[in-house]
Chain A
Amino acid sequence: MDITVKILRYNPEKDTQPYFQDFKLQGISGDWRLLDVLHEIKWKHDGTLTFRRSCAHGICGSDGMKINGKNRLACSLLLKDMNTNKPITIEPLPSLPIIKDLVVDMSSFFQKYEVIKPYLINKTPPPANSERLQSNEDAEMLFESAKCILCACCTTSCPSTWTNENYLGPAALLKAYRFAYDTRDDAADERLDIIDNPDGIWRCHTIFNCIEACPKEINITWHISQLKKRISTKEA
């Protein structure tokens, strides 16, 4: 098939502001990932096109970008699953500063992730030669949240993030759930205190953009609502 790809370009060494550039490609197979399309452009047409990528199958979380208006991983989207009769529009993840083309500055995203203390806190020493016991049901309660690959598709899709740069955002809140609901963790209250404020959990207005954006199909809003309930019950 023949396709047209419209990419938002920005090189801070040359451009005063971002602009769209069209690339027309011929003889492309529907089996191609969007990432293959970007590589085709970079390797055959324009070596200056810049984007992050690594594993190319949706685990490393490098290639989150806005494709036809939705945040997606370029490696997890196939052309045959898209409407290719119209130009495909590719932009960097919204609301983060652009470094170059599709590469954004992720530092604020990782800072917010660190705020919720994303590590197990257990105040009793572990058993000497064995694991801490946990039922499989309790373990599986964490699995969906632990699937998160920190690609930032959810956080940058959230209108609450767009209007308030201090909002922790869905990825950080999901990580708070991951630890607050781990039966081995002793710091749930500490974490709930961190997120119990207007820039924390209450900035989530259940808009559900995060769920639509998540390439790992995590029901992020459900996890956030569990935290909201828990905080409300605690206060009551």
Chain B
Amino acid sequence: MVQNFDVVIIGAGGAGLRAAVEIPKEYSCAVLSKVFPPRSHTGTAQGGVCAALANMEDDSWENHAYDTVKGSDYLGDQDCIEVMCKDAIRAIMELEHMGMPFSRNEDGKIAQRFFGGHTRPVDPNEPNGKRVAVKRSCYSADRTGHVMLHTLYETCIKNQVNFFSEYFVTDLIVEDGVCKGVIAMDIATSEIHTFHAKAVIFATGGYGRVFRITSNAHVGTGDGYALCYNNGLPLEDMEFFQFHPTGLWKLGILVSEAARGEGGILKNKDGERFMARYAPTVMDLAPRDMVSRAIISEIREGRGIRGSDGTDYVYLDVSHLGKEVIDDKLPEITGFARTYLGVEPTKEPIPIQPTAHYAMGGIPTNVNGEVLLNEKGDIVKGLYAAGECACVSVHGANRLGTNSLLDLVVFGRRTGKAVTEFVKNNDYAPMPADAAEKSKKIINDIFNKSGSEKVVTLRTELQDTMMVDCGVFRNEADLKKMVEKVKEIKERAKNISIQDKGKVFNTDLMEAIELDNLIVTAEATVNSAYARQESRGAHTREDFPKRDDVNWMKHTFAFKNPNGDEPILKYKPVTLTRFTPMERKY
């Protein structure tokens, strides 16, 4: 079945919904999502969304940009970061006007709190001088992502947006640098639909499920990345994957940085506030890459606590904040500690360990969401991306907490605007008659395979090895091993079989396709990481412990190798504006 829409948006999280809000009624628009929109992973974001509103103390968007550039370890494109931080203030006001419920300060304005890596200079005339933490994160208790997602969904209902819920996109149709639409499976029936579109927006979220311990939902399987890569489009900076320092021990469930923003502290087994040794100025509020490295270093040096599952953890202590602050400001995350670990955070510390959290890299775009065809900056006509799946790049080598929710609404809107202009001025590119055949064949092949490999076995092996060999600390030997492991798993995946051969709501089939997507993201991540011989942001090479601006201040572009070998890697320079790279100390 072929359907025509001016605009097709894939994904109904923050970026997809914000883009949908922007498309005027006179253009037909379909939003496809593999889950109901309010199930999207944006809803799990907790701590806040940053903008220099200065509701609590002096602040400026330049301060925010300075922190974002420094947080990115100077890999973020500074022109794009300026766009985001400048637009942040308007974006937050817009969310408030849409009805997003925020916590408020005494003046009835949006309340703001501390967050990792967000600072201001003590002397405003000396931005490179001493800096202290600043209250910049706008929040709604510790459910900021949840209320943002719901507010955007509500606005879409108001605007009568056309949703195709539980549709799973199986192919992207792009020929000679022109996007023509997508192929999607209606999960309820396994029926294949062709969506012929003037413009397609990918807002498909991240791929944290490639790691064993992750804060990401089961749906975070990198579907958008794989669709682009398999169609010859590049993936940018995939070696930069953020490990959030405070995942709930064993489970990886996020315990927001807001816990530290409100005054929570990290302690090792001796009860020492160890961050004082790693980031003397901001301590527990250092950026995530530094805190995760500090935790793993403490554990490696014997100052972690051995858990019953054989893994090590350290403590996040909020007990001194008092029951009232905990219940008012951190109800959700302390609830997780009670439910899942039986820990009472008002009385005892919470066991935590780093958890795979966020992809800084992704589908390369410019500030208008237009997808780049190559490292030279040529664009794919009619194809756009926004949100975690995209790499603008505003997060560079390490994202600051709260900047992801901001990214969704700033670039979701900009992409929606650019797409509106595009569909106004362009007609449908012809859709090939056999466009759906590849998807049908993939699905039929999975149904007909009778190999001995199981999806769960391969996925678990991939997740376990990625965690060990491509985690917080990396080195040549481990990465080489992982490059080979990905090849092996890719080969073995040709030999899988599934048990459910039915047409109705076949999640067995979906998991098989999702595995292939995860393997793609692993291939791009590991090979990009293996090539990058320096340590920058979240990419820490034990064999190359220093940042190397002379050779490596550049973005990786990984292209699928047509002969099936390791990806072809190319590089694009970083855009600098007003911020001179210097050593990153906190």
Q: Which residues of chain B come closer than 8 Å to A122, judged between CB atoms?
A: 97, 99
A98-106, A162-170, A195-203, A223-231: which lies at the interface:
A98-106
Q: How many angstroms between the C-alpha atoms of A117 and B159 in the bound complex?
A: 11
Total residues of chain B contacting the partner, CB 8 A: 60
Q: Which residues of chain A come closer than 8 Å to B155, judged between CB atoms?
A: 119
Q: B217 to A47, Cβ gap below 8 A?
A: no
**Which residue of B36, B101, B340, B499 contacts A143 across the interface (Cβ within 8 Å)?**
B101
B98-115: contact bitstring with A at CB < 8 Å (1 yes, 0 no)?
110111111111110000
A213 CB to nearest chain B CB (Å): 16
**Known: A57-B336, A59-B44, A131-B110. Is A119-B158 also a contact (CB below 8 A)?**
yes
Q: Which residues of chain B come closer than 8 Å to A79, judged between CB atoms?
A: none
A148-185: contact bitstring with B at CB < 8 Å (1 yes, 0 no)?
01100000000000000000000000000001001011
The answer to whether B344 has its CB under 8 Å from any CB of chain A is no
**Which residue of A51, A55, A138, A142 contacts B43 across the interface (Cβ within 8 Å)?**
A55
Q: B97 to A132, Cβ gap below 8 A?
A: yes
**Which residue of A53, A56, A147, A185 contacts B99 across the interface (Cβ within 8 Å)?**
A185
**Known: A99-B504, A100-B504. Is A131-B93 also a contact (CB below 8 A)?**
yes
**Given A55-B218, A61-B39, A131-B92, 17 extra CB contacts under 8 A:** A43-B456, A44-B456, A50-B505, A53-B218, A54-B41, A60-B44, A99-B505, A118-B154, A131-B96, A131-B109, A133-B109, A134-B108, A139-B102, A146-B150, A150-B38, A182-B101, A184-B99
B31-44: contact bitstring with A at CB < 8 Å (1 yes, 0 no)?
00001101111011
Q: Which residues of chain B come closer than 8 Å to A85, judged between CB atoms?
A: none
Q: A135 to B108, Cβ gap below 8 A?
A: yes
The answer to whether B533 has its CB under 8 Å from any CB of chain A is no
Q: Which residues of chain B come closer than 8 Å to A33, judged between CB atoms?
A: 340
**Known: A48-B508, A57-B251. Is A136-B111 also a contact (CB below 8 A)?**
yes
Q: Which of B126-181 contact A (CB under 8 A)?
A: 140-141, 143, 146-147, 150, 154-155, 157-158
Q: B38 to A61, Cβ gap below 8 A?
A: yes
**Which residue of A12, A134, A139 contacts B504 across the interface (Cβ within 8 Å)?**
A12
**Known: A119-B157, A143-B140. Is A47-B103 also a contact (CB below 8 A)?**
no
B80-99: contact bitstring with A at CB < 8 Å (1 yes, 0 no)?
00000000001011001111
Q: B339 to A78, Cβ gap below 8 A?
A: yes
Residue of A nearest to B40 (CB): A60
- The CB with the most chain A CB atoms within 10 A, among B39, B140, B339, is that of B39
- The CB with the most chain A CB atoms within 10 A, among B109, B150, B498, is that of B150
Q: Which residues of chain B come closer than 8 Å to A142, judged between CB atoms?
A: 101
Q: Which residues of chain A come closer than 8 Å to B96, judged between CB atoms?
A: 126, 131-132
Q: Which residues of chain A come closer than 8 Å to B105, judged between CB atoms?
A: 136
The answer to whether B188 has its CB under 8 Å from any CB of chain A is yes
The answer to whether A114 has its CB under 8 Å from any CB of chain B is yes
Residue of B nearest to A130 (CB): B93
Q: A147 to B217, Cβ gap below 8 A?
A: no
Q: B503 to A13, Cβ gap below 8 A?
A: yes
Q: A149 to B38, Cβ gap below 8 A?
A: yes
The answer to whether A28 has its CB under 8 Å from any CB of chain B is no
Q: B499 to A47, Cβ gap below 8 A?
A: yes
Q: How many angstroms between the C-alpha atoms of A138 and B43 in the bound complex?
A: 23
The answer to whether B502 has its CB under 8 Å from any CB of chain A is yes
Residue of B nearest to A47 (CB): B499
Q: B502 to A48, Cβ gap below 8 A?
A: yes
Q: How many angstroms between the C-alpha atoms of A56 and B500 in the bound complex?
A: 23
Q: Which of B422-469 contact A (CB under 8 A)?
A: 454-456
B338 CB to nearest chain A CB (Å): 11
Q: How many angstroms between the C-alpha atoms of A185 and B507 in the bound complex?
A: 41
The answer to whether B482 has its CB under 8 Å from any CB of chain A is no
**Which residue of A46, A133, A143, A179 contacts B141 across the interface (Cβ within 8 Å)?**
A143
**Which residue of A50, A136, A147 contacts B507 across the interface (Cβ within 8 Å)?**
A50
Residue of B nearest to A150 (CB): B38
The answer to whether A95 has its CB under 8 Å from any CB of chain B is no
Q: Which residues of chain B come closer than 8 Å to A25, judged between CB atoms?
A: none
The answer to whether B219 has its CB under 8 Å from any CB of chain A is yes
**Which residue of A46, A118, A134, A179 contacts B104 across the interface (Cβ within 8 Å)?**
A134
The answer to whether A221 has its CB under 8 Å from any CB of chain B is no
The answer to whether A82 has its CB under 8 Å from any CB of chain B is no
Cross-chain pairs A/B with CB under 8 angstroms, 12 sampled: A12-B504, A14-B502, A47-B508, A55-B41, A55-B218, A59-B146, A60-B217, A78-B339, A122-B99, A131-B102, A135-B104, A136-B105
Residue of B nearest to A101 (CB): B505
Q: Which residues of chain B come closer than 8 Å to A47, judged between CB atoms?
A: 498-500, 508
Q: Which residues of chain B come closer than 8 Å to A61, judged between CB atoms?
A: 38-39
The answer to whether A120 has its CB under 8 Å from any CB of chain B is yes
The answer to whether B197 has its CB under 8 Å from any CB of chain A is no
Q: Which residues of chain B come closer than 8 Å to A31, judged between CB atoms?
A: 250, 340
The answer to whether A76 has its CB under 8 Å from any CB of chain B is yes
Q: A54 to B219, Cβ gap below 8 A?
A: yes
A130 CB to nearest chain B CB (Å): 7
A222 CB to nearest chain B CB (Å): 17
Q: How many angstroms between the C-alpha atoms of A170 and B101 in the bound complex?
A: 21
Q: Which residues of chain A come closer than 8 Å to B505, judged between CB atoms?
A: 50, 99-100, 103
Q: B101 to A133, Cβ gap below 8 A?
A: no
B464 CB to nearest chain A CB (Å): 15
Q: Which residues of chain B come closer than 8 Å to A103, judged between CB atoms?
A: 505
B569 CB to nearest chain A CB (Å): 33
Q: Which residues of chain A come closer than 8 Å to B43, judged between CB atoms?
A: 55, 59-60, 149
Q: Which residues of chain B come closer than 8 Å to A16, judged between CB atoms?
A: none
The answer to whether B253 has its CB under 8 Å from any CB of chain A is yes
The answer to whether A110 has its CB under 8 Å from any CB of chain B is yes
- The CB with the most chain A CB atoms within 10 A, among B108, B219, B508, is that of B108
Q: How many angstroms between the C-alpha atoms of A173 and B253 in the bound complex?
A: 31
A218 CB to nearest chain B CB (Å): 12
**Which residue of B44, B107, B502, B507 contacts A55 across the interface (Cβ within 8 Å)?**
B44
